């Protein structure tokens, strides 16, 4: 049984710097206001914050996020977060894990509307469209909060201008952890900016979300590495195996997931690219703590 979603039937900022609103030349994080918080499971939540008018980033990049320091802290704790909202949005959205004893997320998970979040000034990252050579199909392989940069990319019209087909995979432990990706993709058909781009003229999907679980029953089960190995992924997607002539890949998840998945992708003959040397695939760790 397969679960394929189709239509109709989603320079780092120095941690030493003190938060402040000040001269535009400063590297210090800016103080932003929490607009919305949504909890999905006891391990995952999403939140959005105000976006300074001067804050520019490329869809798919990450930025340092933190909270104002407490009395016992010398400096605020900052962590890298992929920006989940697209570059055109006037707010910034993030998708985060909750780590009970995590230096940042133990506090961050308790934020509410109106609270202050610190935002770094220098977005960076490799999961950007410019780091890949042109091709027919874009694959985005994610696990857990590794879906965040892809939440940004699938809401960017440029993604659909560059590729004929866009396939996002999201593998999690349990069903509840798929809520964010499933809901976002389902809502895209009604999005005023990309709604018409996620379907082809004949009504077939141009964007596909393929979900799998590893610790609960689901129409598709197993790690992305197993799905690549057995070829089940290509069956579900209705494609042939990865091919460097037609396919490009972005990978985001834990360090082990990235290492293992990148090895498999290389096994299909694809080579890793970067901002300065675009090639066939790019990787990025989803940061936690
Ligand atoms: P598993 O349940 O078999 O560990 P996490 O929440 O720990 O970041 O995991 C998210 C998903 O990534 C889980 O489904 C997990 O599978 C999977 N995963 C963990 N390690 C790897 C890996 N090395 N390669 C591929 N998938 C992985």
Q: Give the largest Cα separation in the chain, rounded.
A: 60
**pLDDT digits over 50-107, tens only?**
999 999 999 999 999 999 998 888 889 999 999 999 999 999 999 999 999 999 999 9
Distance 30 CA to ligand 1 centre (A): 34
From the CA of 172, how far away is ligand 1's center (Å)?
7
Q: Is the same domain home to 199 and 214?
A: yes
Joined tokens for residue 125: 């990252």
When pLDDT is cut at 50, 70 and 90, the band that residue 20 belongs to is very low
Show the domain range for 261. Answer: 4-8+125-285
In this structure, the answer to whether residues 113 and 212 fall within a common structural domain is no
Examine the domain organization and report whether 191 and 265 are in the same domain: yes
Residue nearest to atom 6 of ligand 1 (CA): 144
Both 183 and 209 in one domain: the answer is yes
What is the 164 CA–ligand 1 centroid distance (Å)?
29
Question: Given this model, what pLDDT does residue 18 score?
Answer: 43
How far is residue 248's CA from residue 233's CA, in Å, rounded to a whole number? 15
Residues 75 and 193 in one domain: no
The pair of structure tokens assigned to 169 is: 């995979």
| Contact residues for 52 (Cβ-Cβ < 8 A; gap 6+) | 30, 32, 119
Q: What residue owns the CA closest to ligand 1's atom 20?
A: 257
pLDDT of res. 70 = 87
Do 94 and 132 share a domain, yes or no?
no
* Same domain assignment for residues 137 and 273: yes
pLDDT at 8: 37
How is residue 86 written in tokens?
């697209």
**Residue-level pLDDT at 288:** 53
Q: Does 7 score more than 60 pLDDT?
A: no
Class of residue 70 by CB neighbours under 10 A (exposed 0-12, middle 13-18, buried 19+) = exposed
Closest CA relative to residue 81, chosen from 100, 108, 115, 43: 108
Q: Are 220 and 178 in contact (CB under 8 A)?
A: no
Distance between Cα 238 and ligand 1 center (Å)? 24
pTM of the predicted protein model: 0.90
Average pLDDT over residues 179-208: 93
Domain count, the chain: 2
Atom of ligand 1 nearest to the CA of 146: 8
- For ligand 1, the distance from its centroid to the CA atom of residue 224, given in whole angstroms, is 9
143, 171, 228, best to mutate for ligand 1 pocket (most atoms within 8 Å of CB): 143
Please check the confidence at residue 25 and state whether its pLDDT lies above 80: no
Residue 17 domain-assigned?
no
Residues 145 and 194 in one domain: yes
**Distance from residue 132's CA to the centre of ligand 1 (Å):** 25
Same domain, 152 and 236: yes
Atom in ligand 1 nearest the alpha carbon of residue 253: 8
Assigned token pair, 40: 């999905």
Element (H or E) spanning 258, and its range? helix 255-267
Question: Which of 119, 153, 180 lies at the terminal end of a domain, its last residue?
Answer: 119
Query: Alpha-carbon distance 185 to 111, whole Å?
Result: 26
Residue 275: pLDDT over 80 = yes
Domain shared by 210 and 165, yes or no: yes
CATH number reported for the structural domain that contains residue 267 in this entry: 3.40.50.80
Mutate to test the pocket of ligand 1, among 217, 218, 223, 226 (most ligand atoms within 8 A of CB): 223
Average pLDDT over residues 189-213: 93
Q: Are 157 and 193 in contact (CB under 8 A)?
A: yes
Residues with C-beta less than 6 Å from any ligand 1 atom? 143-144, 171-173, 214-215, 223-225, 253-254, 256-257, 260
- Cβ–Cβ < 8 Å for 145, 252: no
Using most ligand atoms within 8 A of CB, pick from 254, 256, 258, 263 the residue to mutate for ligand 1: 254
Domain assignment of residue 140, yes or no: yes
Q: Rounded to the nearest whole angstrom, what is the distance from the C-alpha of residue 191 to the centroid of ligand 1?
A: 31
The domain boundary, picked from 58, 90, 119, lies at 119
pLDDT at 195 over 60: yes
Using the mean position of ligand 1's atoms as its centre, give its distance from the Cα of residue 157 in Å: 30
Q: Is the pLDDT of residue 5 over 60?
A: no
Q: What is each CA distance from 199 to 130, 155, 202, 205, 207, in whole angstroms?
A: 23, 13, 8, 4, 7
Q: Given 100, 119, 138, which residue is the final one in a domain?
A: 119
Residue 24 within any structural domain of the chain: no
């Amino acid at each position: 049984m397969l679960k394929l979603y189709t239509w109709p039937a989603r320079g780092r900022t120095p941690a030493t710097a003190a938060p402040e609103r000040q001269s535009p030349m400063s590297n210090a994080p800016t103080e932003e206001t929490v607009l919305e918080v949504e909890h999905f499971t006891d391990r995952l939540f999403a939140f959005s914050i105000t976006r300074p008018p001067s804050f520019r980033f490329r869809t798919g990049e990450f930025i340092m996020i933190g909270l104002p320091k407490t009395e016992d802290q010398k400096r605020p704790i900052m962590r890298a977060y992929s920006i989940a909202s697209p570059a055109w949005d006037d707010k910034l959205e993030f998708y985060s894990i909750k780590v009970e004893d995590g230096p940042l997320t133990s506090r961050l998970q308790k934020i509410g509307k109106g609270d202050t979040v610190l935002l770094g000034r220098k977005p960076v990252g490799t999961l950007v469209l410019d780091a890949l050579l042109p091709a027919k199909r874009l694959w985005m392989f994610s696990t857990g909060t590794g879906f965040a940069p892809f939440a940004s990319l699938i809401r960017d019209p440029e993604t659909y201008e560059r590729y004929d087909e866009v396939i996002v995979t999201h593998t999690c432990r349990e069903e509840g952890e798929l809520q964010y990706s499933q809901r976002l993709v389902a809502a895209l058909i009604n999005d005023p900016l990309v709604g018409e781009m996620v379907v082809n003229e004949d009504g077939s999907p141009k964007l596909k979300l393929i979900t799998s679980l590893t610790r609960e029953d689901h129409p598709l089960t197993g790690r992305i590495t197993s799905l690549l190995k057995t070829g089940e992924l290509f069956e579900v997607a209705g494609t042939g195996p990865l091919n460097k002539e037609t396919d490009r890949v972005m990978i985001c998840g834990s360090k082990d997931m990235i290492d293992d998945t990148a090895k498999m992708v290389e096994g299909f003959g694809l080579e890793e690219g970067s901002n300065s040397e675009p090639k066939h695939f790019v990787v990025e760790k989803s940061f936690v703590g």
